[in-house]
Structure 1
Amino acid sequence: MHKAAALMIGMALALGAPAGPAWAQDVSFLGMTAFHDNDVLFDGDDRWQTGGASISWMFGPEGLADLPGAPGELWEIRVRGQVISPDDFTAPAAWDRRAASVLTTTLHTHFETHGVELSAGAGFALTGPQVPLIRFQNVIHTLTPANDPLVPGFVQAAQIPNAVYLTGIGEAAYRLRLGEGITLRPFAELQGGVETLGRVGFDVFFGAGFDRGVLARDGTTGFAYQTIEGTAPRGVTLTAGADVAKVASSALLPAPAYSLTPWRLRARAGLLYEGRRVSVFQGVSWLGPEFTAQPSGQVVTAFQVQYRF
């Protein structure tokens, strides 16, 4: 197991250990949210980071809408599916990456101390044909009117193989008020498991949609998003951000067949509309090349829709 993964898993277990009053409160179901990303709208085809979705179930004291002051009070169970493809999966080039299916399940605790927003999570990730996401993608393609091509059997057979990875992830962020309705939120992240990396970046919010609530971060696009519905005030918020990561190792781009880019870059912008009964987020993220033979970056869209009955 990678040292970074072991460190993050140990941190999550330590933070979740019984700590007096934090465990004395009743735990209630606070809601579920989903966040999606897909490359088809701008890239026009399924390639590289082609699609993914995260689903979160939130648990904590009844009525909780903001970060608590101690770990172990607010919990998130997150399940994330991800599909990766070559540039042309019907006839992959020799230089291109292999297809991959990844399913990650993690348990996170979120809290705030001295103005610093912290989250730590641990779990496991599955790769390979044991995760049927590429087959599910083919089913979706058969149902679309565009008659999209299917991932052929030889590409599926050559995908990243079956494996299980212990996973750890942690993030620290801080809000800086730059003016009326403008907030800068720099962050740092450590991740170990399928990919082991360190990342630093920022988000800037023009509007009040992210002033409160509990934020998570999409692993593909980098967008911060609300995990508890109804915590954002009504209105429109523009968000933009960028980050850079140093990747130490990647089971999705295994050496020596692939050489990782020295730095992995992302830039993004999105719009959140929070209404009385509906919340809609739409964003666009540019992802830089992940391996040196990749000829260009790509553009991926992200979206989230929540409705209150």
Structure 2
Amino acid sequence: MLKYVKSLLIAAIMCATGPAQAEDRVTLGWGRMFTNDALGDQKDRWRTGGYQVSRVRGYSWDGVLPTTPGEILEFRASAQIVAPEDLISPPPLDRRYAAMLSFGLHTQFDWRGNDVSIGSDLVFLGPQTGISNFQKWIHNMVGLEEPTVIDQQIGNGIYPTLEAELGRKFALGDRAELRPFVQAQAGVESFVRVGGDLVIGTLGRDDLMVRDSVTGQRYRAVEGTHDQGVSLIIGGDMAKVFDSALLPSNGVATLSEERSRLRAGVHWQGERASLFYGVSYLSKEFEQQTEGQLVGGLNLNLKF
């Protein structure tokens, strides 16, 4: 599977760097997803907070993916904080604090009726990201106790990471659509994953969607038809995890080889605003973790 991911990535890069079309690329859209357990179980732990943003460039968007890799390019950036259960006095066998910042290039295209997304990210870990200092500043600003676990955080590292996803849409009548998918990643965390997403409602049917790495929620990066209304999204997946720089083998927390996620969300589109809110259940990521957690996701867009 990982060899297949690498082959797909090389093919996409070659296509993306090929001869340019007559017209220039334009920005087709922006997408973003803010995730935080304050929007879920409100316990400030483990996959506690993150932000992912996508800028999509291409020649045009008519609601259908092109068949050539590299015609659509997604420039992706994300920041994330992973923390133990308690930021001041964590349990002795809990996971270590980790600050993560990544920048990547991805492409989406159609392959024999399947939606394909492949790309590469450069992931930075540790104090070099500046995220832990920012969290200290926030705690001081609002009068909270400064997190002491930051002093024992996972050290600096740089991890080239490859990612690929293949999905296929199936219409279930006029108002529902099912999209099973498989995904693989090699790098800062290496895994293979299988799952699916069910959309009830027609809103967003011809949007270009991108998956948030933490919750698995999909957010809109390019808008298709500007319909107004509401859609309900339900999904879930299971993963086989091979290794993780966020749970190093020499640490006290033991990596769980299996992970699962369940999620539900509501997407609303008005005339000048849109809103997505969803909640995801994340299963235990290490053996000593006492329970799973709920993480909320939020995407708000306003047009003036």
Partner amino acid for 2:203?
G
Give the Cα–Cα distance (whole angstroms) in 2 for the partners of residues 107 and 126 of structure 1. 15
Distance in 2, matches of 1:290 and 1:52, equals 17
C-alpha RMSD of the superposition: 2.0
Q: Does 1:32 align with 2:51?
A: no
1:183-202 equivalent positions in 2, closer than 5 A:
183-202=177-196
Letter in 1 for 2:272: R
What does residue range 100-249 of structure 1 map to in structure 2 within 5 Å? Answer: 100-144=98-142, 147-152=143-148, 155-229=149-223, 231=225, 233-249=227-243
2:8 matched residue in structure 1: 11
CA distance in 2, matches of 1:158, 1:20: 42
Q: Percent identity among equivalent residues? A: 37
Separation of aligned partners in 2, 1:244 and 1:63 = 32
How many residue pairs align between the two structures? 302
TM-score normalised over the length of structure 1: 0.92
- What is the TM-score normalised by the length of structure 2? 0.93
1:179 aligns to what SS in structure 2? coil
User: Is the 1:49–1:85 Cα contact (8 Å) retained in structure 2?
Assistant: yes
Which structure 1 residue ranges, 5 or more long, are not aligned? none
Q: Distance in 1 between matches of 2:64 and 2:216?
A: 21
Map Cα deviations across residues 196-218 of structure 1 (whole Å, 9 max, x no partner): 00000000000112311211111
* CA distance in 2 between partners of 1:300 and 1:169 (Å): 22
* In structure 1, C-alpha distance between the alignment counterparts of 2:158 and 2:296, rounded to whole Å: 28
For 1:45 and 1:19, the matched residues in 2 are separated by 43
Question: C-alpha offsets along residues 138-196 of structure 1, whole Å, 9 cap, x if unaligned?
Answer: 3233344xx443212xx222111100011110100111111221111101000011100
Partner SS state of residue 230, structure 2: strand
Q: Deviations over 1:228-272 (max 9, x none)?
A: 145452210000101001110001001143322231010010000
Residue range with higher mean Cα deviation, 207-216 or 74-83: 207-216
Amino acid corresponding to residue 234 of structure 2 in structure 1: A
**Which residue in 2 is equivalent to 1:87?**
85
Question: Within 2, Cα distance between the matches of 1:141 and 1:230?
Answer: 40
Measured against aligned partners, the alpha-carbon deviations of 1:29-55 in whole angstroms (never above 9, x if no partner) come to: 123222110001333232100000001
Structure 1 residues 232, 263: closer, same or farther in 2, change over 3 A? farther
Q: CA deviation at 1:15?
A: 1.5
CA distance in 1, matches of 2:15, 2:107: 13
Deviations along 1:57-87, one digit per CA (max 9) or x if unpaired, are: 1100045543212111000000011101110
